[in-house]
C-alpha cells in the first residue's frame, strides 16, 4: 500500500485567484508519480488545524474582499503555523497568501488588514504601481517563468532574516523598486507568481523533494512514538 502525503490548502474556497489551485494539482501529480497517495484538506473558516499533521502547507491568493474575510479567521492558525514554519517544513504562499505571512496589508482606502505577523514583511496597496504581465527571474533552481497581476507592494522589514526567492529578469516581483521576486525563510516561500508557479518543472521538483523529506521525517517520528 502506498504511503499518503498530506497537503493542507489554507482557505481553498476563498483564496484561489488565477488558478492557484493548479500548484496543488501539479504537486499531487508529481508525488503520485513518485509512488505516493496524496490527500488535500481545505482548511477554511472555523476548521480545526494542526499544521504539524501535514507534509506541505499551501496558501493561495485572493481578492481584497476575500482577504478581509480570511483576516478575521486566520489569527487562530498563527501558533500552529509558527511551529510548522520554524521547524523548517515546506510551505508555499502565493500573492494574498504571501501577504498574510507578514504583519499588515495597507489597502488603497487606508484600511489596514492585520495579518499573521509570522514573518517580518509588510504590504502596501499602490494603485499607481499596477504590476501586471509575464515575469522571469533567476532562482537557486534556475529560471522561473510566470505571470503577475497585483498592486500590493511587499517589503522586507528584516533583510537579514528573509531572502528573496529570485532576482528579476523581466517584470516587477515584490515591488517596482528593488528588482526581486518572492521570499524565502527556511523552507517557507512566498511569491507573486501565478501561472501557476509550479508549472516550472525545476521548482516543482524542488518542492516535491522538500515535501518527500518532510513526509519521511513525520512518519518516522510517528513510528517512534508508536513504538514507545
Type and span of the H or E element at 139: strand 131-139
Any residues with CB less than 8 A from the CB of 61 and at least 6 apart, and which? 15, 16, 17, 18, 20, 94, 95, 96, 97, 98, 194
Q: Count of CB atoms within 10 A of residue 33's CB? A: 9
At residue 5, the pLDDT reads: 98
At residue 80, the pLDDT reads: 98
**Burial label, 227 (beta-carbon count in 10 A; 0-12, 13-18, 19+):** exposed
At residue 30, the pLDDT reads: 98
**In degrees rounded to 5, what are phi and psi of residue 108?**
-60, -30
The C-alpha cell of 68 is what? 478581509
Type and span of the H or E element at 91: strand 91-94
Count how many domains the chain has.
1
At residue 224, the pLDDT reads: 65
CATH number, domain containing residue 104: 3.40.50.880
At residue 227, the pLDDT reads: 58
Which residues have a catalytic role annotated?
Answer: 95, 194
At residue 20, the pLDDT reads: 86
At residue 226, the pLDDT reads: 61
Quick: pLDDT tens for 40-80. 999 999 999 999 999 999 999 887 788 889 999 999 999 99
CA dihedral 161, 166, 169, 171 (to 10 degrees): -80
Question: Which spans in 96-228 are helix H?
Answer: 96-100, 201-227
Domain that holds residue 188: 4-227
CA nearest to 191, candidates 127, 145, 227? 145
- Which stretches of the chain score pLDDT less than 50? none
Amino acid at each position: 500500500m502506498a504511503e499518503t502525503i498530506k497537503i493542507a490548502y489554507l482557505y481553498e474556497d476563498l483564496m484561489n485567484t488565477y488558478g492557484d489551485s493548479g500548484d496543488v494539482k501539479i504537486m499531487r501529480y508529481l508525488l503520485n508519480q513518485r509512488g505516493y497517495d496524496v490527500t488535500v484538506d481545505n482548511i477554511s473558516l472555523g476548521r480545526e488545524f494542526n499544521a504539524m499533521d501535514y507534509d506541505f502547507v499551501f496558501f493561495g491568493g485572493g481578492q481584497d474582499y476575500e482577504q478581509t474575510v480570511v483576516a478575521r479567521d486566520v489569527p487562530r492558525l498563527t501558533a500552529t503555523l509558527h511551529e510548522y514554519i520554524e521547524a523548517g517544513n515546506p510551505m508555499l504562499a502565493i500573492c494574498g497568501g504571501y501577504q498574510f505571512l507578514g504583519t499588515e496589508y495597507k489597502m488603497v482606502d487606508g484600511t489596514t488588514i492585520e495579518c499573521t505577523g509570522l514573518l517580518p514583511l509588510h504590504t502596501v496597496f499602490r494603485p499607481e504601481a499596477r504590476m501586471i504581465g509575464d515575469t522571469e527571474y533567476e532562482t537557486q533552481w534556475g529560471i522561473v517563468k510566470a505571470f503577475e497581476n497585483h498592486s500590493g507592494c511587499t517589503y522586507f522589514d528584516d533583510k537579514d532574516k528573509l531572502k528573496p526567492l529570485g532576482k528579476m529578469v523581466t517584470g516587477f516581483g515584490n515591488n517596482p523598486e528593488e528588482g526581486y521576486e518572492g521570499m524565502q525563510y527556511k523552507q517557507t516561500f512566498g511569491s507573486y507568481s501565478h501561472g501557476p508557479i509550479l508549472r516550472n518543472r525545476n521548482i516543482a521538483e524542488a518542492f516535491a523533494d522538500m515535501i518527500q523529506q518532510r513526509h519521511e521525517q513525520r512518519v518516522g517520528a510517528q513510528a517512534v512514538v508508536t513504538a514507545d
